[in-house]
Amino acid sequence: MSHRILVLNGPNLNMLGSREPEVYGSHTLEDILAGLHTIADERGAVLTDLQSNSEGALIDALHQARGKVDGVIFNPGAFTHYSIALRDAISASELPVVETHLSNVHAREEFRHRSVLSAVCLGVVGGFGADSYAVALEALFRHLDT
């Protein structure tokens, strides 16, 4: 059966490609999502996506995904570091969620070393630029296939 995957992107990721390319690379979010759709098609998976700068909208998305998708690729952006509400939403979704980061957060400011979400995620992938998403998708497929 084909897997249903939600790709969720948090605050400021709509600015990718224009914003601070030395940190985040020159790919836009559209570029990245196009690449993921190609991979999903090859695998016969169905991929939906959402980007929002609003914590509440991301929580809503996770609630609605429950029972509707099989797994989530989630780049929570800066919410990684303080949104305990998103943490509870991940728990409430009862879905395998892969926390995904473009940059290596441990090579950045001290306050970006702490994740309040990791403990309730399936796993973490980060540091590979735009490739982080494809790598996270690979991880999620492997998880869903076992």
Catalytic residues: 24, 101
Nearer to its own copies, 47 or 61 (CB): 61
Residues 6+ apart with CB under 8 A from 13: 29, 51, 75, 77
The candidate with the shortest Cα–Cα distance to 59, out of 79, 44, 39, 42, is 79
For the CB of residue 2, give the shortest distance to its own copies in the complex, in Å: 20
Among 39, 46, 50, 135, binds its own copies (CB under 8 A): 135
Does residue 33 bind its own copies (CB under 8 A)? no
Token pair listed for 140 = 């999620």
Does residue 128 bind its own copies (CB under 8 A)? yes
Contact (CB, 8 A) for 57 and 83: no
Does residue 53 bind its own copies (CB under 8 A)? yes
